[in-house]
Amino acid sequence: MIKVWLSGANSQIGKAINDIFCPTDLELFNTDKEEVDVTDLKAVMNFAQVSRPDIIINCSAITDINLCEKEPKLAFGVNAIGARNLSIAARKCGAKMVQISTDDVFDGLSDKPYNEFDVTNPRTVYGKSKCAGEGYVKEFTQRHFIIRSTWVYGEGYNFVNKFIEETKNKSEVTVASDQFGSPTSAEELAKFILHIMTTGEYGTYHATCKGVCSRFELAEKIAEILGRDVKIHPVPSKDNEFSSFRPAYGVLDNFIMSIVDVYDFADWESALAKYLGGIKESGK
């Protein structure tokens, strides 16, 4: 049985992995900050020595863009040094390393999707800290998967859930119309992670659902699927709290995935419909 240490188990991707993994194939060791603080190298090494994982998945991150700007030491501590510490542990115990990353490692100024061979150029503290984390993974491990995704939604705080909550009691909302990405369900991303980590296809992957939309178009689709009677006003991202620090163009090209043919993501609209269908069934 493969032993997997999932750091950041309470993140939306961590929760999605727990929802779909097969216990007959994997033994999953779930930790979050309360169990193992990834910024503490000694604590990380001690847990690795006890659990002896075959694979380490790093979902631990500070993803709040505004918080990262206000507290860069915290952002770099978790997103960069945390990745370094887990990579050192992976090298020590001979484990594969899976690092979850983001489109924010790019500047968002392109007019075409970023592929894995494009040069990173982060503009925010969040993006810079995640880019530094990628660098540590490459420096300290050979058998690694760096997985960049964008506009991820699942159980937790994200644009999709924020919009759902906001439109429960409002008849009008504003949404950024000048930001573009590929909405990606945490479940779809978790499926890819659980698949790719058992292969020898190491390297950096862009991993998003198929298709592109603006945040405004995403909001319209959510309202349509849920049957919400709400007026959505398009506004520039500078006027929208949720989007103010995000790259204008966060579209990733799953280029390497298309070459090595290791996985095929669902399109963003069908993945969103599945996620929202679960919400409607639960009555949330």
Label the pairing between strands 96-102 and 231-235. unpaired
The domains found in the chain, sorted by start residue, are 2-157+182-211+250-266 (3.40.50.720)
Q: Once rounded to an integer, what is the mean pLDDT over residues 108-117? A: 96
* Burial label, 173 (beta-carbon count in 10 A; 0-12, 13-18, 19+): middle
Region of 203 please: left (phi>0), alpha (psi -120 to 50) or beta. Answer: left
What is the structure's pLDDT at 281?
62
Whole-number percent of the chain with pLDDT over 70: 96
pLDDT, residue 105, reads 98
How far apart CA 207 and CA 186 sit, in angstroms, is: 11
What mean pLDDT is predicted for residues 142-168? Answer: 96
Separate counts of helices (H) and strands (E) for the chain: 11, 12
User: Tell me, what's the pLDDT at 278?
Assistant: 82
* pTM score, whole prediction: 0.95
Question: What percentage of the chain carries pLDDT values higher than 90?
Answer: 89
Place of tokens 């945040």: 215
**Rounded Cα distance, 248 and 107, in Å:** 8
Residue 24: the pLDDT is: 86
**Cα–Cα distance between 8 and 31 in angstroms, integer?**
6
Residue with the two structure tokens 């950096």: 204
Q: How does DSSP classify residue 57?
A: E
Kindly state the average pLDDT of the residues 176-187.
96
Residue 261, phi-psi category: left (phi > 0), alpha (psi -120 to 50), beta (remainder): left
Confidence of residue 161 (pLDDT cuts 50, 70, 90): very high
Q: For 239, which DSSP code? A: G
Query: Does the pLDDT at position 284 exceed 70?
Result: no
pLDDT at 283 over 80: no
Q: Is 52 a residue whose pLDDT tops 90?
A: yes
How far apart, in whole angstroms, are the C-alpha atoms of residue 27 and residue 204?
25
- Read off the pLDDT band of 130 (50, 70, 90): very high
Cα–Cα distance for residue pair 245/279, rounded to 1 Å: 28
Model pLDDT, residue 239: 62
Task: Classify each residue of 4-43 as buried b or exposed e, where b means 16 or more C-beta atoms within 10 Å of its C-beta.
Answer: bbbbbbbbbbbbbbeeebeeeebebbbbbeeebbbbbbee
pLDDT value of residue 280: 64
